[in-house]
Amino acid sequence: MTLVPDAPSALQERIGAHAALRARYLARPHPGAPAMRMLRLLAGAARGAGRWAFLGLVGAVVLTVVGQLLVNLRITTWNADFFDALERRSAPELLRQAWIFLAIVLGWMAVVTAALVAKRRLVIALRRHLTLMLTGAWMDAGRHYRLRNMEGSHDNEDGRIAEDARVVCEMGVDFLASLLAATLQFVAFVGMLWIHSGTARLAIGRVEVAIPGYMVWIALVYAFLGAALAIFVGRPLVRATDRRQAAEADFRASLLAALSHSPVIALTGAEPGERRRLAGAFARVQASWNVQTGSFRNLSFLSSGFGLLTAGLPMLILAPSYLAGEISLGTLMQLTIAFGQVVGALLWLSDNYPTIAQWEASAERVLALHEAVCDLPGEASAAGPGRVLRAAEKGPELAFRAVTLLGSAGEVLLSRFDTVIRPGERVLLEAPPQVAAALFRAVAGLSSWGAGRIELPEHSAPFFMGERPFLPRAPLREAVLEPQAVGDVADEALKAAMLATGVAHLVPMLDAVADWEEELGLEEQQRLQFARCLVQRPGWIMMHDATSALGAAEEARLLAALAQHLPDAAIISIAHRPIAEGLYQRRITLPAAA
């Protein structure tokens, strides 16, 4: 049966809808700053089965932050007592303060160690939640494959899941803990600074103005100026960090691509070209590094000066009061420390700006991947403009209803294909290479641009056989049985299937672990795919280039083995080359659409 292309007038509207859908993806809003969006994403850890353990870790981190604050407060009062004893030249009091200091040191060691353990456990709990969320959505319903054909900022998924998610969790916990510490630190020390700094009297002409707690006001103005300058100077750092991380990810992807194509590169002598490409990728890393260095330079110049000024400014301001006998040496040192603590709390943002820039860049990369994955429907062909609807029906047939397929540029590959394949039928669909590949992906749910409807038989998912089967690095037994569990299939059944498909010589290697896609030739891989099919005993088998590495005789033998061992299975071969035709009851030719 030959189908004549008959593109409907509405097809151009669907092609336009195809482009519009991509445009909406690129322009869609993502409300909320990265921090709030990421917090919403991570909040799921408090709602899962292990929520009480997670909340316990959060509580432990909060308690250690409070503990560190209490020790800091005690150190501040100890400084006052110690310097007052020093001013009085009281040896007994100095000895007493030495013992107190030893107790403070031991307390500080205990609380810092507890904080480290609590934060690390919280980090790994958050990272586990985020990683499983990302991999669960990404490695589902072919999204990892379909994402490659979707425009947007979500490339290098491996780096986003492994590295950026780690940065988000590690730095995020540090930020939240330090922000809580800064808040409590400000509340605790601002009162001390207010009480002990007293009242300053400022003469303005003939009017004398009293300023109570004047050191607090100086600290507020000083911190505000420092934060404003740091934000102004550090703003370009966020963009520079984002560009650098993207360049690093691209360089890593280039290295992985070269490694994965290592045999072909060696055979063709393509090393010089690869060296040039790798050098170009690293040149982009170097350029982004230099831009980031300029941003770091400006921020470092500012922060180093402010850091040193913060240590000396309060002593210079308080020196007249000390010389006038209004405050003791101990009070001067106590106020100096309190001033530094208040300013340090207020300068939390500016002090953390470089690492916040790195965190925000990683958070944006993780969020972009998560949002891109979630924007894809669970099935590639969920209903929508410019899409083929792929759905399970109550009937037992596999049906194509006015199926029109589009290429990546919106060109028509197949127009209004109609046919019904019944259980147990063996059908050969002959088509040009691009059409054959597009139809195979559409039935598998990996591509859906076009129109029409593909109806799958209910309760009987097809077994898809492409040119290269997935053989993970695992024991060969586990690799062949993928995705079934090893315990679900008896060894005898597996060995019989391998014998029937001509790979009995691999039976002694069933417990060996290797990179099977590298160790085995394509012919052996395809034979193992047929063995996998025999073991799983599907009711529907969909093939495309599954025997490309086999000769005609071996191809016919394997197809006959399928028919012999699975007599009730429907077998559909989508081919763009001559294939053993004796097995098939129907032959349908699908020309490329005009």
161: CATH: 1.20.1560.10
The reply to whether 289 falls in a domain is yes
What is the pLDDT, as a whole number, of residue 593?
59
Confidence of residue 196 (pLDDT cuts 50, 70, 90): confident
Residue 82 · residue 94 · CB < 8 Å: yes
Confidence of residue 387 (pLDDT cuts 50, 70, 90): low
User: Which residue is associated with the tokens 């077994």?
Assistant: 463
What is the pLDDT, as a whole number, of residue 347?
79
Residue type, 141: A
What is the pLDDT, as a whole number, of residue 31?
40
**Residue 507: count of CB within 10 angstroms of its CB:** 14
As a whole number, mean pLDDT of residues 91-119 equals 91
Residue 330 has pLDDT above 80, yes or no: no
What is the pLDDT, as a whole number, of residue 267?
67
**421: Cβ contacts below 8 Å, ≥ 6 apart:** 397, 398, 399, 427, 570, 572
How many helices and strands in the chain, by DSSP H and E?
19, 13
What is the pLDDT, as a whole number, of residue 452?
87
What is the pLDDT, as a whole number, of residue 524?
93
SS3 state of residue 207: strand
As a whole number, mean pLDDT of residues 460-478 equals 86
SS3 state of residue 213: coil
As a whole number, mean pLDDT of residues 160-182 equals 90
Residue 87 has pLDDT above 90, yes or no: no
The structure tokens listed for 351 are 């002090």
Residue 461 has pLDDT above 80, yes or no: no
As a whole number, mean pLDDT of residues 523-549 equals 91
Residue 22 has pLDDT above 60, yes or no: no
The reply to whether 535 falls in a domain is no
Domain count, the chain: 1
Q: Select the more confidently predicted residue: 110 or 270.
A: 110
What is the pLDDT, as a whole number, of residue 137?
81
SS3 state of residue 432: coil
The reply to whether 128 falls in a domain is yes
Residue 241 has pLDDT above 70, yes or no: yes
Q: Select the more confidently predicted residue: 472 or 109.
A: 109
Confidence of residue 386 (pLDDT cuts 50, 70, 90): low
> In terms of DSSP H, where are the helices of 151-213?
157-159, 165-197
Distance between CA atoms of residues 591 and 583, nearest Å: 22
- Comparing CA positions, the residue from 404, 545, 522, 567 lying closest to residue 465 is 545
Confidence of residue 114 (pLDDT cuts 50, 70, 90): very high
What is the pLDDT, as a whole number, of residue 148?
67
What is the pLDDT, as a whole number, of residue 377?
58
What is the pLDDT, as a whole number, of residue 116?
93
Residue 464 has pLDDT above 70, yes or no: yes
The structure tokens listed for 63 are 């308690």
Distances (CA, A) of 335 to 98, 288, 327, 424, 448: 21, 44, 10, 88, 69
Range of the domain at 64: 31-375
The reply to whether 498 falls in a domain is no
Confidence of residue 18 (pLDDT cuts 50, 70, 90): very low
Residue 460 · residue 399 · CB < 8 Å: no
Residue 65 has pLDDT above 90, yes or no: yes
Residue 588 · residue 430 · CB < 8 Å: yes
Return the HEC string of 533-568.
HHHHCCCEEEEECCCCCCCHHHHHHHHHHHHHHCCC
What is the pLDDT, as a whole number, of residue 526?
93
Tell me the percentage of the chain whose pLDDT exceeds 70: 85
The reply to whether 304 falls in a domain is yes
- Comparing CA positions, the residue from 129, 131, 123 lying closest to residue 58 is 123
Backbone phi, psi, residue 212, to 5°: -70, 145
User: For 42, what's the count of Cα atoms within 13 Å in the CB-facing half-sphere?
Assistant: 25
Task: Kindly report, residue by residue over 199-238, the tens digit of the pLDDT.
Answer: 767 667 677 677 777 788 888 888 888 778 877 887 788 7
Q: What sign does the dihedral 406-412-415-417 (CA atoms) show?
A: negative
The reply to whether 565 falls in a domain is no
**153: Cβ contacts below 8 Å, ≥ 6 apart:** 365, 368
The structure tokens listed for 328 are 């003791």
**By 3-state DSSP, what share of the chain in percent is helix, strand and coil, each rounded to 5?**
65, 10, 25
What is the pLDDT, as a whole number, of residue 590?
84
The reply to whether 532 falls in a domain is no
User: Average pLDDT of the chain?
Assistant: 81
Residue 435 · residue 445 · CB < 8 Å: no
Distance between CA atoms of residues 534 and 383, nearest Å: 34
Q: Select the more confidently predicted residue: 6 or 474.
A: 474
The reply to whether 5 falls in a domain is no
